[in-house]
Amino acid sequence: MPTFSRRWFVAALAAAWVGGLASAARAEALEPQAVDRIVALDRDTTLSPAAKESAIRAAFQAFQARHAAALSDLSTASAETLGEWGRLLGFVVYATHHDRALLGPLAQLRQAYARRGMVPPLALRARLVSAWVGFRDFDTARAVAAEMDTPLEDLPPVETAAGAEAAAATVLRVDAEYGVLRREPLSLGDAPHLVVVSFIGCAFSRRAADAIEAHPALRQAMREHSTWIVEPGPLHFSEVRAWNRQHPSTAFTYVDGLAPWAFIDDWATPTFYVVRAGRLLNKFQGWPDDAQGVATLLSALASAGLVMPAPR
């Protein structure tokens, strides 16, 4: 082969090899646009809440598969890569209602920042702290807030009731008198039960609770056959504690893991689920006005045998 041809061949081969490395590097980079596309799914109004969550999960899993090499070792990742990965993780934690499968990646991200002596941007720090609060891991939330110099909402002490550690499912009940949370075993039983997805910041949830408390039959049914749950997320503990003191029949209870709530396909508030042995019997959402809300709830509870049917 002539010298000219040989040199050209070697140069072309090197160029192709470098180009291949560049392509691989581009594939490993966590592109902000790819993260943006996943986050944008939350704004897709054509999808039901359940379909939207499924789409976000699928897109996230595809993202993880594409960037598996980069995400398996964050020790040399750039600050930009860590920031984009943290932004995506924070969103997916929120969108999946704190799926515990995300605890591992969150811990890995935290360790990557700590080992390199780096501090995440302020917005990401807040997301990380909020994530562990939502997972109800208050010790880790306090530790992350301290090491990242990030504000933290007031977190009450948590006491564990007898049998809770061995229970298949638990909830965090508010002791409004002593200002603590109690982790207690959860059993909805085999009888019909009403589960209300609610939130202290939701005006419709509060209005529904006030109307229910003012209705004798509904107030009794709530005391005996209902659980008002707050999905994983911020606690707003002082507000919830004050509410529970004044509304014992519609007191809020904090979700402590998603396993018991598989029948919930929409965490919008308020949503009323009538269930029996974990199976959905009836569901309605919203509280348009007190008269319609009370009538709809009475009908749903009467069909499940939880209140007497209205006389005809």
In a domain, 309, yes or no: no
Q: In this structure, are residues 96 and 56 in contact, taking their beta carbons and an 8 Å threshold?
A: yes
Q: Is the pLDDT of residue 21 over 60?
A: no
- Asked if the model's pLDDT at residue 5 lies above 70, the reply is no
Q: In what order do the strands lie in the sheet with 226-230?
A: 158-160, 180-185, 170-175, 252-255, 226-230, 193-198, 271-276, 279-285
- Residue 102 CA to residue 115 CA, distance in Å, equals 20
Summarize the confidence of residues 267-275 as an average pLDDT.
96
Same domain (yes/no): 111, 65:
yes
Last residue of a domain, one of 147, 175, 192: 147
Residue that terminates a domain, selected from 114, 147, 180 = 147
**Total number of domains in the chain:** 2
Give the pLDDT score at 3.
45
Please give the pLDDT value at position 76: 87
Cα-Cα-Cα-Cα torsion 78, 80, 81, 84, nearest 10 degrees, comes to 160
Provide the CATH number for the domain around residue 251.
Answer: 3.40.30.10
pLDDT at 48: 95
**Could you tell me the pTM of the whole model?**
0.84
Give the domain-ending residue among 147, 170, 185. 147
Residues 6 or more apart whose CB falls under 8 angstroms from that of 155 comprise 133, 138, 141, 142, 235, 237
Q: Compute the distance between CA of residue 124 and CA of residue 141 in angstroms, rounded to an integer.
A: 14
Dihedrals φ, ψ of 77, to 5°? -65, 145
Closest to 30 in 3D by CA, of 72, 74, 84, 73: 84
- Per DSSP, 168 falls in state S
